[in-house]
Amino acid sequence: MELAKAESISPGVAPPAPALSETALIEAAQRKDPDAFEQLVRLYDRSVLRVTMNVLRSPEDARDAYQEAFLKAYRKLDTFRFQCSFHTWLYRIATNVCLDQLRRKGVRKEYGVDDRDENAAPNPLQLASDGRPEANPDRALTGSELGRRIEGAMEALSPKERVVFELRHYEGLRLRAVGEMVGISEEAAKNCLFRATRKLRVQLEDVRS
Amino acid sequence: MDDLRDKISLYLYDELPAAERDRVEAEIQTSAEFSATVENERRFLEGLNARRDVKPPDALLAECRQDLMRAVYHEHPPAAPTWLQSFFGMFSGSGMAWQPVGALALIAIGFFGGRSWNQEQQTQPQASELAANNSFSNVQSVEMDAGQVRIVLDERRTIEGAPNDPMINGLLISSSQSPNSGLRLESLDVLQRRSDNRGVREALISALLADANPGVRLKALAALAPHRRDPNVRQALVATLQSDGNAGIRVQAIDLLTAEPDRELVGILQELVQHETNNYIRFVSQQTLHDLNASVDNY
């Protein structure tokens, strides 16, 4: 069944194929060769910045996350043992930086959604009609209005759910890889994705109708 | 059925194990209601793609790269080469053909060095014994002249004083040109605290432009950093940027120069964009030219 394929619902791009000289670059960067590190950065930084922007939704926060993630990578590069792909290792650092930022900003508290309470009824405030035109189910939403509603709904996810959903749905990464990056098992990543899609359905119920 | 409904989103993401996927597909075949639910969910997930994917603007990416590499270069300035690296450095410029010569020379140093060390070890007890009875350990040379013996003693003197003491200052400037690179480095370490002094600044500029040791040049550069507006320092920074063989030092130089860019740099930066081998320096040059509203090309 065609629609079952992840690619059919994910506009994300696959991670860049490693350059032939990637191993040599990593080894040189491990010896603290800044030029080699810079070349490594350029292989991956566009996709890292895109993910941080999409997760954090703020260019300033994304810029901070970019800097923090790559500096961490530079400082910890000598601990990289080629046991996973460099891309996975780098994304793991970047997603953890994003998670930390989201947690610091208290996304979950702000929107009153909690991992531990996934079966609880949604916050009535979130479901109540807010009077905005885009909340009117009788009216077809334009693309940009729908985008904003989805953006608002995404805010209801916990940091981890948000990162997992972002990486799976928008980046098109497999949940096994997502789990590795976020530091959870594949099964936990599945649960996270399931909770995320369920919350989004609730948040966007009026849009669906 | 409810259990299967919970699997729909994972099914659509193609993240179910084969057995569960088969169960979902069998249910789709047999239940129109379930099939409609799956279709509804598929449309919902596809609808989520309406969220605008934020693509990083090139300018933001460029700024991020610049900030990052600035931090990296500052975090890890180039280390002064060890004598072994310097030794092999003498052969690296001439291609692979000279490397065996370097290796042979190193073996020879090891062999003869080892022999002379052994001989020294054998004679040492005798020398110590004599030194205990006669204080001549600081004899520099002995000559016979018309039946007379001339012994030149290498006397050690210790001089202490404040760093701004003119005699101390003079000695430090003198030792900053010593053949011993360790001594030069130590001298500059003290002198850098006195970089307000014109004579000291000149010694620092001289070290930056002429010292063979990159560690010493880097130390001089750091000492000159607070004086980057001084025209003489600026001129030395430009010369360093254009001709120093060490990329790390050139990076430090361009950072200092572009911290306060002026239009006099335009031609130099244009030249760097064309010919500099270091990505970071080319990048900063381009950025600075952009900030100065200047073209990256020199016509």
**ipTM score of complex:** 0.71
- Residues of chain B in contact with residue A63, where contact means CB-CB under 8 angstroms, are 60, 63-64, 67
Residue B230's CB is within 10 A of a number of other CB atoms, namely: 16
- Residues of chain B in contact with residue A150, where contact means CB-CB under 8 angstroms, are 47-48, 50-51
Report the DSSP beta bridge partners of residue B141: B152
- Cβ distance B15 to A174 less than 8 Å, yes or no, reads yes
CATH of domain A108-208: 1.10.10.10
Q: What is the pLDDT of residue B216?
A: 87
The Cα–Cα gap between A107 and A119 comes to 19
User: How do residues A17-44 score in pLDDT, each as one tens digit?
Assistant: 444 478 888 998 898 888 888 888 988 9
The Cα–Cα gap between B185 and B8 comes to 69
CATH 3.40.50.300 holds for A18-104: no
- Cβ distance A154 to B47 less than 8 Å, yes or no, reads no
- Minimal CA–CA distance to A76: which of A29, A119, A11? A29
pTM (2 d.p.): 0.49
The Cα–Cα gap between B59 and A58 comes to 15
User: How do residues A100-110 score in pLDDT, each as one tens digit?
Assistant: 998 887 654 33
Q: What is the pLDDT of residue A122?
A: 38
- Residues of chain A in contact with residue B50, where contact means CB-CB under 8 angstroms, are 143, 146-147, 150
Q: Is B57 left (phi over 0), alpha (psi -120 to 50) or beta?
A: beta
- Cβ distance B60 to A59 less than 8 Å, yes or no, reads yes
User: How do residues B18-63 score in pLDDT, each as one tens digit?
Assistant: 999 999 999 999 999 999 999 999 999 988 888 767 788 888 888 8
**Model confidence at B107, in pLDDT bands (50, 70, 90)?**
low
User: How do residues A10-19 score in pLDDT, each as one tens digit?
Assistant: 444 444 444 4
The SS3 call for residue B139 is: strand
Compute the average pLDDT of residues A188-197.
94
Which residue is it, tokens 């791009």?
A13
Give the chain A residue nearest B52 (alpha carbons).
A147
Report the DSSP beta bridge partners of residue B142: B151
- Tell me which residue in A11, A75, A194 faces B10 most closely, judged by beta carbons: A194
- Tell me which residue in B11, B44, B64 faces A4 most closely, judged by beta carbons: B11
* Residue A72 Cα, gap to closest chain B Cα (Å): 10
The DSSP string of A25-90 is HHHHHHTT-HHHHHHHHHHHHHHHHHHHHHHH--HHHHHHHHHHHHHHHHHHGGG--SSS-HHHHH
Please report the residues numbered 240 through 299 in chain B whose beta carbons come closer than 8 angstroms to any beta carbon of chain A.
247-248, 251, 278-280
Domains defined for chain B, CATH in brackets:
2-45 (no CATH), 94-153 (no CATH), 166-291 (1.25.10.10)
Query: Is the predicted pLDDT of residue B238 greater than 90, yes or no?
Result: yes
Could you state, in order of their start, the residue ranges of all structural domains in chain A? 18-104, 108-208
Q: Are A107 and A166 in contact (CB under 8 A)?
A: no
B215 touches chain A (CB under 8 A): no
- Cβ distance B44 to A5 less than 8 Å, yes or no, reads no
What tokens appear for A66 in the block? 């970019």
Query: Is the predicted pLDDT of residue A9 greater than 60, yes or no?
Result: no
